Amino acid sequence: MLTKYEMQIPKYTFAGENALANIQTIVADRKKIAVFTDQGVEGAGLLDLILNQVKAAGKEFVLFDDLAREPSYGQVQEQVDKFKGCGADFIIAVGGGSVMDASKLVSILATDQYKVKDLLDNPRLAKKVIPSMMIPTTAGTGSEVTFNAIVAVPEKSVKIGIVNPEMMADYVILDAEMIKNLPRKIAAATGVDALCHAVECYTCKKVNPFSDTFALEAADLILNNIEKACDDPNAMDAKRAMQIAAFYAGEAIVCSGTTVVHGLSYPLGGKYHIAHGVSNAMLLVPCMKFNESDIKDRLAAIYDRAVKGQKTCTTVDAKSSYMVQWMGEIVKHLDIPTSLKEFNVPKEDLDWLVSAGMEQQRLLSNNVKLVTPEAAREIYLSVMDY
């Protein structure tokens, strides 16, 4: 438990019914709006909901809609370069973590001073240049509330998190319209990503009262809503709960941080382009089994909070193993792959995976139990049972 801790949060967050309508007042004093999105979000008809608000406010806008999913730092740099000279004085990001992360980088790099590549070595170099608004369409990365941006680094086949408080959004809008028709597969993977954020932040070295508050509430909401939100297209209450929970879990990242699941997941995204939520979901249970001996009290506390009705487990041991099992059942229920076989990862890559995973010390050093190369090997092997 940290004895000194702090919290940052976006200046304004609007949530609930018709939250999108706030866009008009937010942009009222701006000259020109840069709207970032991607083809998937645009294809789902969500972009129009935003552009209609911008148009109703009588504002000029410029659209950036060709961002790749989970982009490399070079692909983000292309967005930065295209943005420069467009004359916009405000950024709206409409999308999942990919779009929001890229836009956050644009918000601090829209000058000629630094490039995305410079931030890989020294993330704190750049300062906020353009104010930003995040509108998440997945639930989700929580990227709307964090000041992290994750980029792929192709030459190293990994993903790297750039962390800079200047990237904190000025405005966030959580409107359930944006996730209403999220396809089940994406809702499942991004929802389990949020679960990982909550559980990792609640069981990490840097736990503190701020992160505990957000992480525990997020875990409770996700555990009790994720299946319904994914399975039932009309379950708007469950979807709204997931949207709020993803935001809370993101705030938990701001206050403490993720650990072994995310650390070992990055090479899987970087080299084999497995979606972030999928690689996390795959590693969640093996990592929890590895960690369990050292985090039983904390898993038991999640049990006490999240299990509704009659609680049949009475000991810390029983509660903690119930939690590991419950998380496994959720991943299974949501049909998320649990083996690297589905992604044609050759077993010969195990040594590379271990060394690339061990490089993620920013996250691994926040894990309560020491993650040795041998432990990383065992965890990767457990998802390579073929």
Ligand X SMILES: NC(=O)c1ccc[n+]([C@@H]2O[C@H](COP(=O)([O-])OP(=O)(O)OC[C@H]3O[C@@H](n4cnc5c(N)ncnc54)[C@H](O)[C@@H]3O)[C@@H](O)[C@H]2O)c1
Is residue 193 a contact residue for Zn ion (CB under 5 A)?
yes
Can you tell me which of 51, 75, 97, 240 binds ligand X, judged by CB under 6 A? 97
CB distance 211 to 201 below 8 Å: yes
Cα dihedral 50/166/250/66 (nearest 10): 40
**Could you say whether residue 138 binds ligand X (CB under 6 A)?**
yes
DSSP string computed for 246-307:
HHHHHHHHHHS---HHHHHHHHHHHHH---HHHHHHHHHHHHHHHHHHHHHHHHHHHHHHH-
DSSP letter at 93?
E
* 212 contacts ligand X (rule: CB under 6 A): no
Q: Which stretch binds Zn ion (CB under 5 A): 160-168, 187-195, 282-290, 311-319?
A: 187-195
Q: Which is nearer to ligand X, 297 or 342 (CB)?
A: 342
Contact stretch for ligand X (CB under 6 A) within 26-34, 175-183, 212-220, 346-354: 175-183
What gap in Å lies between CA 126 and CA 114, rounded to an integer? 7
Q: Among residues 44, 86, 120, 125, which is the contact residue for ligand X, using CB under 6 A?
A: 44
Give yes or no for residue 144 binding Zn ion (CB under 5 A): no
Between 142 and 321, name the residue whose CB sits nearer to ligand X.
142
Chosen from Zn ion, ligand X, none, partner binding at 225 (C-beta under 5 to 8 Å by type) = none
Choice from 77, 146, 203, 360 touching ligand X (CB under 6 A)? 146
| Secondary structure (3-state) at 191 | helix
Rounded to 5°, the CA angle 44-49-53 comes to 160
Site for ligand X in 230-269 (CB under 6 A): 250, 253
The tokens for 266 are: 């990055």
Task: Determine which residue in the list 33, 116, 182, 371 makes contact with ligand X, applying CB under 6 A.
Answer: 182
Query: Residue 208's binding partner, choosing from Zn ion, ligand X, none, with beta-carbon cut-off 5 to 8 A by kind?
Result: none
101 binds Zn ion (CB under 5 A): no
Which residue in 123, 140, 257, 286 binds ligand X (CB under 6 A)?
140
Note the helical H segments in the chain. Answer: 22-26, 39-43, 47-56, 73-83, 97-109, 116-121, 184-202, 209-231, 236-255, 260-272, 276-306, 316-333, 350-358, 361-364, 373-382
Distance CA 176, CA 18 (A): 9
Can you give the binding site for Zn ion, defined by CB under 5 A?
193
- Which residues sit at the interface with ligand X, rule CB under 6 A? 38, 40-41, 44, 46, 69-70, 95-99, 101, 137-138, 140-143, 146, 148-150, 159, 178-179, 182-183, 186, 190, 193, 250, 253, 276-277
